[in-house]
Amino acid sequence: MGRTFAKPVVKMSDEQYCPPRFPPQLEYYQIYRGNATAGDLLAAFELLQIGTGGKSDLPPIDGPTDMDRGPILPVPLGIRPVLSRYRVEILFWGLRDLKRVNLAQVDRPRVDIECAGKGVQSALIQNYKKNPNFSTLVKWFEVVSVAQPL
């Protein structure tokens, strides 16, 4: 029914994480259908670094062989990219001011979140007119990315 773009709050693994003192801030994200607004998503997004790859996280590549070319050599550590794992956490709160879709009212909406080919779905709102908030508030998933040098 529409799309939005959310920029998460980023917390690196070497930073102190204190959610009780600094809870995620809910924000309104405008949902667009083409160039027209289709409603608002009330949510909070966090990107939490949960580990940096290194020698211990990447298994050595020393066993397989290619029948035509011989043994497959391991990628040297200086060339192999350092990977980092992140957890994307979403605090789903609700949807507001949803517009009609092809003259039909939206009654049972759901939000799909995607990042780096992975994703998660919000709970289904059973009756948007009666209660526009989600029943399950927090969802998360993990992604892996190349760590950026400082």
Residues 79-114, buried b or exposed e (16+ Cβ, 10 A)?
eeeeebbbebbbbbbbbeebeeeeeeebeebebebe
pLDDT reading at 60 higher than 60: no
User: What is the predicted pLDDT for the residue at 150?
Assistant: 47
pLDDT in tens, 6-48: 989 888 877 776 665 567 789 999 999 999 999 999 999 998 8
pLDDT in tens, 135-149: 999 999 999 887 655
pLDDT reading at 56 higher than 50: no
Maximum average pLDDT range among 29-33, 51-55, 58-62, 66-70: 29-33
| 53, 5 Cβ separation under 8 angstroms | no
Show the tokens assigned to 7.
């920029």
Show the tokens assigned to 68.
């035509």
Phi, psi of 98 (to 5 degrees): -70, 130
pLDDT reading at 75 higher than 80: no
| 115, 88 Cβ separation under 8 angstroms | yes
The pTM of the full predicted model, rounded to 2 decimals, is: 0.73
How many angstroms separate the CA atoms of 43 and 120, rounded? 14
User: What is the predicted pLDDT for the residue at 19?
Assistant: 63
Query: Residue 30 CB: number of other CB atoms within 10 A?
Result: 14
User: What is the predicted pLDDT for the residue at 55?
Assistant: 37
pLDDT reading at 61 higher than 70: no
